[in-house]
Amino acid sequence: MHLNFQRFADDLVEGLSSDGPADSERSLLVEEVKIGCTLGMLQCLDRSHRVAYVLGEILDLSGLEPADALDISPELFRKRLQHARAAIES
């Protein structure tokens, strides 16, 4: 799909609606939207940054574990995680 952050943002804006669900459905739909947005943002990252983000930010792994799993240096893992965080936050 070659998703990037700008395309993802444009799709979100196009999908907005002023019609809302009933209060009883709202909390469930809010959670579904959060999950969908998280998955969309992850797809905007390339594979190496996506893996670093999942291991470091979502699974909260630090130190040698994720670096060993990826067969890279801890410094390179931290740098990838830093770049992935910056991309997601911007």
Confidence (pLDDT) at 15? 66
CA 88 to chain centre: 6
The model's confidence at residue 8, banded by pLDDT at 50, 70 and 90, is: confident
What is the pTM for the complete model shown? Answer: 0.69
| Higher per-residue confidence, 4 vs 52 | 52
What Å distances lie between residue 3 and 6, 31, 36, 44, CA to CA?
8, 22, 14, 5
pLDDT at 61 over 90: yes
Confidence (pLDDT) at 40? 87
The predicted-structure confidence for 33-47, as pLDDT tens digits, reads as follows: 888 888 888 999 999
DSSP class per residue in 40-69: HHHHHS-HHHHHHHIIIIIS---THHHHHH
| Higher per-residue confidence, 70 vs 7 | 70
